[in-house]
């Protein structure tokens, strides 16, 4: 199955796909010839549309080519489930999020995912399960346009021990939330996190 790439820029999205749904409104189709992702970052914030599509016969190849025009950072994180069927969420900069962080030199991506979850929340991951999905978002740091690729994994812990949010990473809260409380997350989170939850069937 051919992969689509949803690159989030604030509340907007650039979607690289082989097929565009004809029902989509308020969207703009973009020609990928000579397309520069770094320049597009500045332009998209000024546009009224929320969705932008690049239609490609080979979305993976197109994504790889576009990624060469920006600085790419790899990160990993996890959706952690407890024996009580609760999920671990953090609140960072006023929004609900999932624990994640950047790949360090010498690490494999699975190690990064577990380390970041444990560091940001003060838990011990007992089981690393399958990868859920990859997400992509862009931001600007010190004048440089960054494309962050985050690899998300399903994880388990053996108990809901007291959580310790890593405040130096701007995390103000870490909580176990049951499914009936997840509406709080859905109403105040990032599009990329919603994508992870959807792929995980949460």
**pLDDT per residue over 45-95, tens digit each?**
888 888 888 888 889 998 998 999 899 999 999 999 999 999 999 999 999
**pLDDT per residue over 4-54, tens digit each?**
899 999 889 999 988 776 655 555 666 656 678 888 888 888 888 888 888
Q: How confident is the model at residue 51, as a pLDDT?
A: 86
Torsion of CA 94, 99, 187, 25, to 10 degrees: 110
Closest to 128 in 3D by CA, of 141, 118, 142, 140? 118
What is the pTM (predicted TM-score) of this model? 0.91
Phi-psi label, residue 16: left if phi above 0, alpha if psi -120 to 50, beta otherwise: beta
Closest to 55 in 3D by CA, of 24, 103, 17? 17
Q: How confident is the model at residue 200, as a pLDDT?
A: 96
Say what percent of the chain tops pLDDT 70. 92
pLDDT for 110 beyond 80: yes
What lies within 8 Å, CB to CB, of 201 at 6+ separation is none
With tokens 């624990």, the residue in question is 99
Q: What is the mean pLDDT of residues 130-149?
A: 95
Q: How confident is the model at residue 70, as a pLDDT?
A: 93
Rounded distance, CA 137 to CA 88, Å?
22
Mean of the per-residue pLDDT values of the chain = 91
Q: How confident is the model at residue 50, as a pLDDT?
A: 86
Q: CB-based burial of residue 4 (10 Å sphere; 0-12 exposed, 13-18 middle, 19+ buried)? A: middle
More reliable by pLDDT, 49 or 178: 178
Q: Which two tokens stand for residue 195?
A: 């994508």
Q: How confident is the model at residue 103, as a pLDDT?
A: 96
More reliable by pLDDT, 200 or 48: 200
DSSP string for 6-69: EEEETTEEEEEES---TT--SEEEE--TT--HHHHHHHHTT-S-SEEEEE-S-HHHHHHHHHTT
Residue 123 has a CB neighbour count (10 Å cut-off) of 25
Q: How confident is the model at residue 31, as a pLDDT?
A: 63
Closest to 176 in 3D by CA, of 99, 93, 81? 81
Look at the alpha carbons of 109, 110, 113, 118 in this order and tell me if their dihedral is positive or negative: negative
């Amino acid at each position: 199955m051919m992969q689509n790439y949803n690159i989030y820029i604030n509340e907007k999205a650039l979607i690289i796909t082989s097929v565009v749904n004809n029902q989509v409104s308020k969207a703009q189709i973009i020609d990928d010839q000579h397309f520069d992702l770094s320049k597009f970052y500045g332009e998209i914030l000024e546009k009224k549309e929320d969705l932008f599509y690049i239609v490609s016969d080979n979305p993976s190849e197109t994504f790889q080519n576009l990624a060469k025009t920006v600085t790419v950072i790899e990160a990993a994180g996890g959706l952690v489930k407890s024996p009580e069927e609760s999920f671990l969420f953090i609140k960072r900069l006023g929004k609900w999020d999932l624990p994640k962080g950047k790949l360090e030199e010498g690490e494999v991506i699975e190690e990064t995912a577990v380390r970041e979850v444990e560091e940001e929340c003060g838990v011990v991951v007992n089981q690393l399960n399958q990868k859920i999905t990859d997400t992509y978002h862009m931001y600007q740091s010190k004048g440089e346009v960054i494309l962050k690729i985050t690899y998300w994994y399903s994880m388990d812990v053996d108990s809901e021990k007291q959580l310790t949010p890593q405040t130096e990473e701007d995390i103000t809260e870490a909580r176990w939330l049951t499914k009936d409380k997840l509406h709080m997350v859905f109403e105040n989170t990032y599009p990329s996190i919603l994508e992870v939850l959807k792929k995980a069937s949460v």
